[in-house]
C-alpha cells in the first residue's frame, strides 16, 4: 500500500497571495512541479522540501504529511 503525501503548500501559498508560478520561481522549479506536489502526485526531493519550508518559515514536518 502506497503512502499518500499531503501538503499545506496551497494554503500557505494562497495566504501569501502567491501563484504557483511565483512559488516555483522562488524555489527554483517549474510551475508543474508545484502543481504535482500540491496534488500529492509528486514527492519532492529533500532539497525541494527544505527550500519550500525555508521560504514559508516553517519546519518540513509542518508542511508535508504522509
Looking at residue 4, what is its pLDDT? Answer: 82
CATH architecture of 6-59: Orthogonal Bundle (1.10)
Q: Is residue 6 very low, low, confident or very high in pLDDT (cuts 50, 70, 90)? A: very high
Is the model's pTM score more than 0.95?
A: no
Looking at residue 2, what is its pLDDT? Answer: 63
Q: What is the pLDDT of residues 12-59, one digit of tens each?
A: 999 999 999 999 999 999 999 999 999 999 999 999 999 999 999 999
Residues 13, 20: contact at Cβ < 8 Å? yes
Residues 20, 38: contact at Cβ < 8 Å? yes
Looking at residue 16, what is its pLDDT? Answer: 97
The span from the CA of 50 to the CA of 45, in Å, is 8
Amino acid at each position: 500500500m502506497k503512502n499518500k503525501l499531503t501538503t499545506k503548500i496551497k494554503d500557505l501559498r494562497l495566504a501569501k497571495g502567491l501563484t504557483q508560478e511565483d512559488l516555483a520561481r522562488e524555489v527554483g522549479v517549474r510551475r508543474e512541479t508545484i502543481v504535482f506536489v500540491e496534488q500529492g502526485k509528486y514527492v519532492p526531493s529533500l532539497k525541494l522540501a527544505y527550500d519550500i519550508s525555508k521560504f514559508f518559515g516553517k519546519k518540513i514536518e509542518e508542511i508535508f504529511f504522509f
